[in-house]
Structure 1
Amino acid sequence: MPRNLLAAVMMSALLAMLLSFLPSIRSNNPNAVPTFRQNQPLVLTKQNVVDLFTFLPTHYNIKRVKWEEQSIYVDLLVSENQPALLEQAYRDFYLLVHQALALTKNVQQLNFRLMEEPVDQPAKLLVAISAKRPLQEGEPIDPNDLPAIKSYVESSFQVRIDPFFHENISP
């Protein structure tokens, strides 16, 4: 019995030593992708612009995404019977800005609109915000690390709020 235990320990040690050399083995396959590598910023095109927003959890529904001349145009829609919260609109906007600037390298501007769509009428603009890529490259602040997102967005970006929205905004 002790011989079997000793043999098992020796085999385990030998196997562990051999497995420690695996990360240094290089592949000759040019299509092989390393498991651990630094993420490269995405180059946005008309073909992959929707991919950037596919898994983004926004509070309001995304109605339209358009990519044109290094600018992204995003329209979010709130239904007539849904409360429109300015704080939530700012959070959605900043989440979109964070994704667009942190994950891409060719987006220079993001234009955001929150619109209300009444039944049998054209959509009304509630909030429009524009963000430009800063001249100095740096990591944008994570949306979860902003304690006062309203004051940050209003001081950092061009914000236009429709007067009608102020009167009818939910508390």
Structure 2
Amino acid sequence: MPCPTDLPETFIALRPDLIRLARRIADNETEAQDLVQEVLLRLWRRQDEVRRIADPRAYARAALRNLYRQSLRRAPMLGLDAAEEPAIEPDVFAVLALSDLERAITQLPNDQAQLIRLVATGESSPRRLALRTGLPAGTVMSRLARARAGLREELGLAPGAPVSALM
């Protein structure tokens, strides 16, 4: 990512990532494009603040999600008798977060991804993971720490942020 002082280049670099995210959460391509355009315009208007942001990608992704959620709240509400079913499935954001997480896991080195997948299946004891993989417990713990740090970075979370921050 270019230096935050090169804002036009930073915004150009952010656009493809924002488009992918918007396409996953928006109802259609037009809405996705509108969301991305609005986020980039808002960032442009706040150039001085954006220059001080350590991770513009994470900030822009969060801004896009927030803008989408705001649009849902502003949408006209139907009466309970007029709505056949919810417009958005209740767990759509959890499903999107899991999709983002799975994509991020595939970006990890294989040794780290293997351990994270074992943890995801319920194996959380470093000693048991070490026995299962044949690695020393210290190696397991350090690889898990690097994997978690990599996932936080890839998902735009703050260092040490809990998993619940994905939602």
State if a TM-score over 0.5 links the two structures: no
Structure holding more strand per residue: 1
Larger Rg: 1
Q: TM-score if structure 2 supplies the norm length?
A: 0.30
